[in-house]
Structure 1
Amino acid sequence: MSKILIIEDDLSIGEMMSIYLYEDGYEVKRAENGRQGEVLFRDFQPDMIILDLMLPDMDGIQLCTTIRQTSSIPILMVSAKNEVSDRVKGLQTGADDYLCKPFSMRELSARIQALFRRSNAYPSLAQSPSDVLDPLGIHLDLEKRCLYVNGRNIETTFSEYEIMKLFWQNQGRVYSREELLNRVRGFDSQVTERAIDVHIANLRKKIEDDPKEPKHVKTVWGVGYKFLL
């Protein structure tokens, strides 16, 4: 049974989500503020977090940043703020999806299923010569879902890893922003293709010697992106 932690200060919305997801078959725990959420994150060890952007004791962005320092589990951010700038900020911080209030419980359930499905739908490939760890380069361990750069384990968000995995398994192939968005977030996301540019920029910071002059994640002008070792 998958475990979901809800960090939401609105009692009615939090209770509604808890009941609905429990009936969907998830093990659910709910925190009403950021500090309680931090404690439950450590003790409950959830498989996914639903995080409200506005909490009474701390900013949801701040909490998302803290969680991302130690974990890459999927984070679904929810908020009444629906400006593009707010959604982009949430994604830049490390959220994997952004759902604007008010939303239906059916849409919430669909987003959660999509995030879980994308984390499990692509089985690890048998190890090939290109999977052998190169201590002086980039390596993706498909079994452990880990990214290594020059022998160091690099923390990635769920979305960053999925993009990197697609690149790794299809080196040299050019992907449009729409294709990457569909792979990472699904067809029903309200987030624009600008989100992909944010993830690409974050990946470049993590794997490139000079993110401004990338050697691996290359822009194909007018089309999208491709990956080269």
Structure 2
Amino acid sequence: MSSPPTGRVLVVDDEVDLAQLVAGYLRKAGLEVAVRHDGAEAVAVVQDFAPDVLVLDLGLPGIDGIEVCRQVRTLSDCHVLMLTARDDEVDKIVGLSVGADDYVTKPFSPRELVARVQAMLRRARTQPGSAPPAGHRLVIGDLVVDEDSRQVHLAGEPVVLTRIEFDLLAALAARPQLVLSRRQLVEMVWDTAWTGDAHLVDVHIGRIRKKLGDEAASPRFIHTIRGIGYRMDTGR
């Protein structure tokens, strides 16, 4: 049995008691934890603390979670887990559109949150500044996905993707013409123990399509298979 992952987690929530409760569970799981209750403080501490995971409340006063996430994405490639007390699906999608990887709706089980954080820590993170090795390249038409360097090029031009976006694209590109269900993609990209909403896949696919200039109505690469999931075409 593999040992639990280790890493640094920054918890940002203006509900002091909840933030301390979450931090306590994360520390019991062997993680190094910092806590902040203000969005501006969170952005300031990211560079010094260098978290592997940011647990971020969406409804912060002042600088809200969406703006914090947007600013953090210019500083760090850490995983971002959004906390939201709102049932409005639009809030969750907007949060994901600025680079969040996942969300949990309040009230939540602290143990479930720890499990989500541990699943994030098991996923590979890019290593800025490291020399990309000669890797396995997936070529779909003029789209090139290099699995080892985690770089994507379209018609020779670089395409900047988040970790989740890259992993989804690579999962599809490695299996051209094969239909993958949302649940299969969740198991490949997130974690087999992940219990979140499988339609989270749709949000990330939408972002990938936008970056590739791939229209859902007339796709070159990623085709929607209604009621099932997605298929990568061979490109044209």
Give the TM bin, normalised by the shorter chain.
0.7 to 0.9
Q: Does the aligned pair in 2 maintain the 1:68–1:157 contact within 8 Å?
A: no
Give distance in 2, aligned partners of 1:112 and 1:139. 30
Q: Please say which of residues 156-165 and 210-219 is displaced more in the overlay.
A: 210-219
Residue aligning to 1:113: 118
**Greater shift in the superposed pair: 202-211 or 165-174:** 202-211
Q: Distance in 2 between matches of 1:73 and 1:147?
A: 19
Q: 2:185 aligns with which of 180, 188, 192?
A: 180
Equivalent residues of 1:73, 1:157 under 8 A apart: no
Do the aligned partners of 2:82 and 2:95 also contact (CA within 8 Å) in 1? yes
5 Å-filtered alignment, 1:156-167, equals 156-167=161-172
Overall identity of the aligned pairs, in %: 33
Equivalent positions of 1:1-229 (< 5 A) are 1-119=6-124, 127-128=135-136, 130=137, 137-186=142-191, 188-191=194-197, 193-208=198-213, 213-227=218-232, 228-229=234-235
Contact 1:205 1:211 in 2 (8 A): no
- TM-score normalised by the chain length of structure 2: 0.80
Judge conservation of contact 1:208–1:216 (CA < 8 Å) in 2.
no
Cα distance change of structure 1 residues 176 and 66 upon mapping to structure 2, 3 Å threshold: same
Q: Give the C-alpha shift of residue 88 in structure 1.
A: 2.6
Q: Is the contact made by 1:8 and 1:51 (CA closer than 8 Å) also made in structure 2?
A: yes
Structure 1 residue identity aligned to 2:29: D
Unaligned runs of 5+ in 2: 1-5, 126-132
Q: Deviations over 1:187-229 (max 9, x none)?
A: 54342x4322221111011123656532111223443211234
Q: Which runs of 5+ in 1 are unaligned?
A: none
Residues 55-77 of structure 1: CA distance to partner in whole angstroms, max 9, x if unpaired? 12212112222223454432100
Task: Read off the aligned partner of 2:230 and give its amino acid letter.
Answer: Y
> In the aligned structure 1, how far is the partner of 2:30 from the partner of 2:157?
37
Distance 1:175 1:119 in 2: 22
CA deviation vs aligned residue, 1:128-148 (integer Å, no higher than 9, x gap):
4x458x9x9322232233333
Q: CA deviation at 1:164?
A: 1.1
SS in 2 for 1:214: coil
| CA 68–35 in structure 1, closer or farther in 2 if over 3 Å, else same | same
Runs of 4+ in 1 over 6 A off after TM superposition: none
Could you tell me which residue of structure 1 aligns to residue 129 of structure 2? none
SS at match of 1:25: coil
Preserved CA contact (<8 Å) 1:146 1:154? yes
CA distance in structure 1 between the aligned counterparts of 2:66 and 2:60, rounded to whole angstroms: 10
Q: Distance in 1 between matches of 2:144 and 2:32?
A: 34
How much has 1:118 moved relative to structure 2? Answer: 3.8
Task: Report how many residues are paired.
Answer: 221
Q: Distance in 2 between matches of 1:39 and 1:152?
A: 33
TM-score (norm 1): 0.82
